[in-house]
Amino acid sequence: MNNFIFQNPVKLIFGKGMIAQLSKQIPKDKKIMITFGGGSVKKNGVYAQVTEALKGYKTVEFWGIEPNPSIETLRKAIALGKEEKVDFLLAVGGGSVVDGTKLIAAGLLYEGDAWDIVKAGQSGETVPLAAILTLPATGSEMNRAAVISNHATKEKYGFTANYPVFSILDPETTFTLPENQVAYGIIDTFIHVMEQYMTTPGQSRVMDRWAEGILQTLIEIAPKIKANPRNYDLMADFMMSATMGLNGFVAMGVAQDWATHSIGHELTALHGLSHGHTLAIVFPGTLDVLRDSKGDKILQYGERIWGITNGSRDERIDATIAKTDEFFRSVGVTTRLSEEGIGMETINEIERRFNERGVAFGENEDVTGAVTKQILLKRL
């Protein structure tokens, strides 16, 4: 196990009716900007609960943070926040609203254009923010990452922002999720765990089994949620899986990959595919092309998660990749570029972009533009 320092300061407030806790968490003298997406919170009663809980506070609302939040929209929110002199931010929605609000929190204390912060990869001081999460997927409610898109340049980058002070997770708020968002959320969570697990075995028994526990939970609950999307206990387990999948708890002292995410962001930037969907397309290709360096861990994953123990090394790896692809399809997403009308032009463009940026992803920093092309060719 590698040396590490771990600290996660987010206060997690979990369960039915817990949005009412808001007034106990935010000092009364704060001027709050509440940020929202496109309106799902009005249909599921979340907006009403938030408004009720914040009676007596000075608030201003910002609506319209879209999926894959854009710098174009967030600049408007920052301008409004500065004008209104807000000193607390409350994000209400999915990962996009939370991520967008993380940039607003940094942008409010920055003089220049907020895209500079994204490009720098790291924010400075921020206004405090908190989240009410309605979509289990990103882990943004308990981490300090944010991913922002730029429509003008068709770019999408992550940067390190600040943690929410607290996050409220009520599984009942997820009952209105459409089936595709549940599917993307399950896959996103699955791949977050994989990005921190699928490297080499023998680094940490605890991290491995913690990660495998989340993978097994997702595989167990995915068909049950499909059959019964309004089951509180299932959605509670889904929410906890997503939060635990990307809050640092499975990453202590172990190598991390993140190549699949970096490639997926390009597919979103170029074609607007949903984040979880891009991961389902790319990840089987990452396993396939990196079967030499990741082979021992693929075998462990195949055996412990899918019970694959027979055949040669390559046969077991192939069977494990096939099972993984099958799982993604079973939750209801396509896993091939061609199924989305994406072909060589995009593959060449992503290779070109990675070469131009001089990037190399993965735990061995060997996923270059050329290797990315091989990965995507496997997914045509």
Give residues in contact with ligand NZQ (CB under 6 A). Answer: 37-41, 44, 67-68, 93-97, 99, 134-135, 137-140, 143, 145-147, 173-174, 176-177, 181, 184-185, 188, 246, 261, 275
Q: CB of 350: closest distance to ligand NZQ in angstroms? A: 16
The residue range among 1-9, 26-34, 182-190, 352-360 that interacts with Zn ion, by the rule CB under 5 A, is: 182-190
Q: CB of 221: closest distance to ligand NZQ in angstroms? A: 17
Q: CB of 288: closest distance to ligand NZQ in angstroms? A: 21
- CA distances (Å), 203 to each of 16, 192, 194, 214, in order? 38, 18, 14, 18
239 residue type, one letter: M
Distance between first and last Cα of the chain: 37
Task: Closer to Zn ion by CB, 141 or 188: give it.
Answer: 188
Q: CB of 160: closest distance to ligand NZQ in angstroms? A: 10
Q: Please identify which residue in the block is written with the tokens 């090394």.
A: 313
Q: Which of residues 341-370 bind Zn ion (CB under 5 A)?
A: none
Q: CB of 365: closest distance to ligand NZQ in angstroms? A: 19
Query: Minimal CA–CA distance to 262: which of 161, 374, 368?
Result: 368
Q: Which does 182 bind (CB under 5 to 8 A by kind): Zn ion, ligand NZQ, none?
A: none
How buried is residue 43: exposed, middle or buried, by Cβ count under 10 Å (0-12/13-18/19+)? exposed
Q: Does 172 bind Zn ion (CB under 5 A)?
A: no
Cβ contacts of 327 within 8 Å, gap of 6 or more: 190, 219, 222
Taking the CA atoms of residue 317, residue 319, residue 320 and residue 325 in that order, the dihedral angle to the nearest 10 degrees is 130
DSSP 8-state class, residue 158: E
Q: Which does 194 bind (CB under 5 to 8 A by kind): ligand NZQ, Zn ion, none?
A: none
Number of residues binding to Zn ion, judged by CB under 5 A: 1
Query: CA angle, 20 as apex, 169 and 227 as ends, to 5°?
Result: 40
339 in Cβ contact with 278 (< 8 Å)? no
Q: Which does 137 bind (CB under 5 to 8 A by kind): ligand NZQ, Zn ion, none?
A: ligand NZQ
Crossing angle of the two packed helices 232-245 and 205-227, in degrees rounded to 10: 150
Task: Closer to Zn ion by CB, 49 or 196: give it.
Answer: 196
Distance CA 233, CA 15 (A): 10
Q: Which does 101 bind (CB under 5 to 8 A by kind): Zn ion, ligand NZQ, none?
A: none
Task: Closer to Zn ion by CB, 62 or 249: give it.
Answer: 249
Q: Which does 93 bind (CB under 5 to 8 A by kind): ligand NZQ, Zn ion, none?
A: ligand NZQ
Q: Does 318 bind Zn ion (CB under 5 A)?
A: no
Task: Closer to Zn ion by CB, 44 or 160: give it.
Answer: 160
Task: Closer to Zn ion by CB, 188 or 208: give it.
Answer: 188
Task: Closer to ligand NZQ by CB, 35 or 324: give it.
Answer: 35
Q: Which does 95 bind (CB under 5 to 8 A by kind): Zn ion, ligand NZQ, none?
A: ligand NZQ
Two tokens at 241?
């899986």
Q: Does 188 bind Zn ion (CB under 5 A)?
A: yes
Two tokens at 185?
């959320």
Task: Closer to ligand NZQ by CB, 157 or 319: give it.
Answer: 157
Task: Closer to ligand NZQ by CB, 168 or 308: give it.
Answer: 168
Two tokens at 215?
């993978």
126 phi-psi bin (left φ>0, alpha ψ -120 to 50, beta other): beta
Q: Does 155 bind Zn ion (CB under 5 A)?
A: no
- CA distances (Å), 43 to each of 54, 140, 228, 341, in order? 19, 23, 19, 33
Q: CB of 139: closest distance to Zn ion in angstroms? A: 8
If one counts every other C-beta atom within 10 angstroms of the C-beta of residue 57, the result is 18
Task: Closer to ligand NZQ by CB, 126 or 143: give it.
Answer: 143
Taking the CA atoms of residue 101, residue 172, residue 189 and residue 72 in that order, the dihedral angle to the nearest 10 degrees is -20
Give the binding site for Zn ion (CB under 5 A).
188
